[in-house]
Chain A
Amino acid sequence: MPTFKLDGRSIPFEAGDTIIKAAWRHGIEIPHYCWHPGLSAPANCRMCLVEILPNPGQRPITLDVLAWNDASHEYTTTQKPKLQPACRTAVTEGLDVLSDSSEHVRKARRDVQEFLLLNHPVDCPICDQSGECKLQDYWLEHGQFKKRMRDEPVHKPKAVEFGETIVYDGERCVMCTRCVRFMAEVAKDPVLDMRERGNLNEIVVAPGRRLDGHYTFMTEHVCPVGALTTKDFRFKARVWFLRSASVVCQGCATGCNAYLDYDPRHNKAYRHRPRDNARVNDFWMCDEGMLTYKEAHEGRVLGARLRGVEIPVAQALDQVRALFGGVSSSAVAIVLSAEHSLEDNWALHELGTKLLGTEGVFFAARPEGYEDDILIHRDKNSNTRGVRSVAPEAKPVGELVGHVESGRVTHVISLGSTALVVRDILARATWLSLAAHEGVLPELATVVIPVTSWAEHSGTYVNSRGLRQVSDKALEPQGESKAAWKVIGSVAAALGHDASWRSLRAVRSELLGIDEGGATRPPSSSAIDEGGATRPPSSSPEGVPL
């Protein structure tokens, strides 16, 4: 691989890379506002200026500048190297670039930073970006100056509603145009643009339009400062109190990688942020997916119920023993869920087919919906392919109706909450529902036992392209809920069976075809990506697909 030199260090690059991108790929950050790895580079923030040393024998490109001479008390002409934007300069073999080590670069950054803060309001205490703001970071890293301007700053529109989701603050804006470029280049809806010049610059929505569509949250996410804020997160939390867990979005079968930001003090989730993954979602997520964090708290089943009456979980298990004990295996059916993780589905499948000996295996799923060619998949379940790989024989839950109606199936154990089914008929069966959220299945069930949502346990999900992805635990289990695979173990014990799985590690090693000795067997389903099937999911710290 060809290399170039950055501050004397040898850095490899790929053909077509700019300096900033090659450094970024190598884990070195050259300070920047307007550049974003997923967008075009307008080179308008001037924060990434670097000094490029001339080739041997070549004359350096210099500028004449006026510098104050303390001795003679006048401005004298001196020369300084012409700095280049690292986001627009292509790397060539052997290029010698100075970044942190150049005095001129450091001064340029400091001056750019000073200009950016010239008219900036004293908003940190009321700004949602505070704590993850590039203006704050770079002031401490590259600025450290005090205010020199004593004039009234330029005032611009504040709290401008761009649409249903986004609010704009002109005074905080550094005019990097990332939001403009995101809407034009990624969302393919050039609805934002810039108006006026110089310090009257502001971002505006196209006349007659609102900022809408399925990717408005991303404009806030790409904003390096607090100019764009989402109405959803505005004034809700201070980011330095939040912790992040690497999760997989549950909104659709794309399985976008995300961070779930939560406050451990209140066990409460506050937002999703996209997590970069070039194989799934690049840097982006859709609005619907960003808002699925709310499902960690909304509409949750938090306690066990017997025919609609709340009872302790231990009593519910006693009821399961009374209702399901001694039922012949052919009269029992299980319903897997495309909303739940591989682990949960595997445990239920194991209980149904191995321990109870049933052949009635069905699966429930959310109905299909909107799709586009950017990220949004029409399958609104996070793990449809996962369920298919665990139980290739599983039939849609709609087919269960006939079995119940004819009386062949009298007892059902289901996972998940959503299904498009004929409730009245299914309600004739004795139904045990293991559900995280309220929905059709827990409503029609005889006994409901709460299980945790994706946010409260670590689980594996297979997306529409067959990538196995691990979603980490963020919150502590709410109410009386426990991970479904654990609850299924308790149900097995209540029915007099000995569940083979005791730990998440055990479930996963079964799932991956790896026994405790570490020897590998071929994965049980060809649907699963061959490349990662032999690696345990927990070994991928960033949740990169396997």
Chain B
Amino acid sequence: MESLDRELEQGELELPADPVHLNMGPSHPAMHGTVRIVLELSGEIVTKADVQIGYLHRGFEKMCERGTWAQVFPYVDRLNYVSPMLNNVGYALAVEKLCGLVVPERCQWYRMALGELARIADHLTCTGAMAMELGATTPYLWFIKAREMIWDILEEETGARLTHSFGRIGGMASPPSPDFAALCGAALPRILETVEEGEKLLLRNRIFLDRLQGVGVISGADAVSLGWTGPCLRATGVAYDIRKAHPYLKYDEVDFDVPVGHAGDTLDRFLVRLGEIRQSKRIIEQSLLRMPTEGPVNCDDPRMVLPEKGEVYTTIEATIRHFKLIMEGSKVPMGEVYSYTEAGNGELGFYLVSDGTGTPYRVRVRPPCFQVVGGLSRLIEGRLLSDIVPTFGSLNMIGGECDH
């Protein structure tokens, strides 16, 4: 072995002129998800970034083609696993659109309330994790504390904290629990309080602001041309929200605002999400007020909706109905449909094709963050290496829905 203290002639030492290649991810503590970015660095400046996704690809769309239509729900839970309820509702609405079903009013309000709870959880996770990736662990814990309150409510309603599989074609798995409104009423103010506390730790912090402001800037026109939707698009000033532009469920009957940014930078994306948390709270409160306490949650269509369990055990008619739906699945009319809802990250679209059988012929997902991640390289090229972490964090890539 060469001795380490070998005398070097300083004049001979040359710094490499070639750019340095750096591999960031796929498994990296500061990466917001399982993704790999191959970077070309000149000093600390990113000259080229090659974003490589697909590490969470499970063949979800193909898997949907072997079960029944109802058996897709557990798969959509695992798309954006931070807000599975929104995916459940989005898929249910798509199948119902194909079947021409409209769920009872009580269910529509219930779906909205649950969906907005999930949206708050989604935004809390994204903003909290982004702060944590910048070293601010305390606000993250604050936000996660608030998320726990939501998860407690969802656990009370669905029995599961994360992957609920709670949606059904033509309704929901069960009606709202008697305490649902009371639970939400108690939790929402506390959640907002916690969020505000967490915010105070961040938005008065010069270092935090400096790392966000003017970083990862994109113009509204560019964002639209990339197909961006959701909070990332709204941060550029484009007030496009599917809940307003193409209302579904009862969104046209509730009063809420669409928070927008103006600079399209990382800070705006951060603030838009925090603004949406407050709007979601408003929607939930209005939904709970207007949701009937009595009445059916599910459609009464024996071809689509399972019968009451008590009747299944005691009458042959309900047993037959149960068996037909479980053995063969709901027969969705032949045809195709594209249905889209506003999920945590933007437009979550389902393109479904049915050949008239109980099994989907094709389930195609338009995951919102696929398009958003498509714009990542242009946000970080020319910026410092350290800017990748907040920029990428603010895009909220969720591998489960992006990789398909």
Which B residues are CB-close (under 8 A) to A146?
A: 311, 315, 317-318
B54 contacts chain A at the CB level, 8 A cutoff = no
Which B residues are CB-close (under 8 A) to A145?
A: 317
Chain B residue nearest to A120 (CB atoms) is B316
A67 contacts chain B at the CB level, 8 A cutoff = no
**A514→B318 CA distance, assembly (Å):** 57
Q: Which of A121, A124, A135 has the most CB of B within 10 A?
A: A124
Which B residues are CB-close (under 8 A) to A125?
A: 319
Which A residues are CB-close (under 8 A) to B303?
A: 140, 144
Which B residues are CB-close (under 8 A) to A122?
A: 313-316, 319
B324 contacts chain A at the CB level, 8 A cutoff = yes
- Is there contact, CB below 8 Å, between A143 and B323? no
B327 contacts chain A at the CB level, 8 A cutoff = yes
Which A residues are CB-close (under 8 A) to B321?
A: 139-140, 144
Which A residues are CB-close (under 8 A) to B44?
A: none
- Is there contact, CB below 8 Å, between B328 and A147? no
**A130→B325 CA distance, assembly (Å):** 12
- Is there contact, CB below 8 Å, between A140 and B302? yes
- Is there contact, CB below 8 Å, between B327 and A240? yes
Which B residues are CB-close (under 8 A) to A203?
A: none
A247 contacts chain B at the CB level, 8 A cutoff = no
Q: Tell me which residues from 119 to 156 in chain A have a Cβ below 8 Å from any Cβ of chain B.
A: 120-125, 130-131, 135-137, 139-140, 143-147
Chain A residue nearest to B301 (CB atoms) is A144
B289 contacts chain A at the CB level, 8 A cutoff = no
A404 contacts chain B at the CB level, 8 A cutoff = no
Known: A124-B320, A140-B321, A240-B327. A147 touches B315 (CB 8 A): yes
Known: A120-B316, A122-B313, A122-B314. A144 touches B323 (CB 8 A): no
Which A residues are CB-close (under 8 A) to B327?
A: 130-131, 240
Q: Tell me which residues from 99 to 123 in chain B have a Cβ below 8 Å from any Cβ of chain A.
A: none
- Is there contact, CB below 8 Å, between A139 and B328? no
For residue B350, give the distance in angstroms from its CB to the closest CB of chain A.
26
**A491→B47 CA distance, assembly (Å):** 64
- Is there contact, CB below 8 Å, between B328 and A240? yes
| Cross-chain contact of B318 among A130, A135, A147 (Cβ < 8 A) | A147
A117 contacts chain B at the CB level, 8 A cutoff = yes
**A139→B316 CA distance, assembly (Å):** 10
Q: Tell me which residues from 272 to 327 in chain B have a Cβ below 8 Å from any Cβ of chain A.
A: 302-303, 311, 313-324, 327
- Is there contact, CB below 8 Å, between B316 and A121? yes
- Encoded as 1 (CB less than 8 Å from any A CB) or 0, chain B from 314 to 358 comes to 111111111110011000000000000000000000000000000
**A147→B320 CA distance, assembly (Å):** 11
Q: Which of B320, B322, B323 has the most CB of A within 10 A?
A: B320
- Is there contact, CB below 8 Å, between A147 and B302? no
Known: A147-B311, A240-B327, A240-B328. A136 touches B320 (CB 8 A): yes
**A240→B303 CA distance, assembly (Å):** 18
| Cross-chain contact of B324 among A117, A121, A140 (Cβ < 8 A) | A140
Which B residues are CB-close (under 8 A) to A130?
A: 323, 327
Q: Tell me which residues from 381 to 437 in chain A have a Cβ below 8 Å from any Cβ of chain B.
A: none
For residue A144, give the distance in angstroms from its CB to the closest CB of chain B.
5
For residue B143, give the distance in angstroms from its CB to the closest CB of chain A.
45
For residue A168, give the distance in angstroms from its CB to the closest CB of chain B.
19
Which A residues are CB-close (under 8 A) to B322?
A: 124
- Is there contact, CB below 8 Å, between B323 and A117? no
- Is there contact, CB below 8 Å, between B315 and A139? no
For residue B87, give the distance in angstroms from its CB to the closest CB of chain A.
28
Q: Which of A117, A131, A137, A146 has the most CB of B within 10 A?
A: A146
For residue B27, give the distance in angstroms from its CB to the closest CB of chain A.
35
Which B residues are CB-close (under 8 A) to A131?
A: 323, 327
**A146→B315 CA distance, assembly (Å):** 8
- Is there contact, CB below 8 Å, between B324 and A147? no
- Is there contact, CB below 8 Å, between B316 and A147? yes
**A402→B314 CA distance, assembly (Å):** 73
Which A residues are CB-close (under 8 A) to B315?
A: 122, 146-147
For residue B329, give the distance in angstroms from its CB to the closest CB of chain A.
10
**A122→B312 CA distance, assembly (Å):** 8
Known: A131-B323, A139-B317. A144 touches B302 (CB 8 A): yes
For residue A195, give the distance in angstroms from its CB to the closest CB of chain B.
24
**A356→B319 CA distance, assembly (Å):** 65
Which A residues are CB-close (under 8 A) to B316?
A: 117, 120-124, 147
| Cross-chain contact of A140 among B313, B314, B320 (Cβ < 8 A) | B320
For residue B42, give the distance in angstroms from its CB to the closest CB of chain A.
57
Which A residues are CB-close (under 8 A) to B318?
A: 146-147
| Cross-chain contact of B317 among A123, A143, A240 (Cβ < 8 A) | A143
For residue B75, give the distance in angstroms from its CB to the closest CB of chain A.
21
Which B residues are CB-close (under 8 A) to A123?
A: 316
Which A residues are CB-close (under 8 A) to B324?
A: 136-137, 139-140
Which A residues are CB-close (under 8 A) to B311?
A: 146-147
**A147→B321 CA distance, assembly (Å):** 12
Which B residues are CB-close (under 8 A) to A240?
A: 327-328
- Is there contact, CB below 8 Å, between B328 and A117? no
Which B residues are CB-close (under 8 A) to A143?
A: 317
Which B residues are CB-close (under 8 A) to A144?
A: 302-303, 321
Which B residues are CB-close (under 8 A) to A136?
A: 320, 323-324
Given contacts A124-B320, A139-B317, 8 further A-B contacts (CB under 8 A): A117-B316, A122-B314, A122-B315, A122-B316, A136-B320, A139-B324, A144-B302, A147-B311
Q: List 6 A-B contacts (CB under 8 A).
A: A120-B316, A121-B316, A130-B323, A135-B320, A140-B320, A140-B324
- Chain A residues close to B by CB (< 8 Å): 117, 120-125, 130-131, 135-137, 139-140, 143-147, 240
Q: Which 7 A-B residue pairs are closest in the complex by CB-CB distance?
A: A147-B315, A240-B327, A120-B316, A139-B320, A144-B302, A124-B319, A140-B324
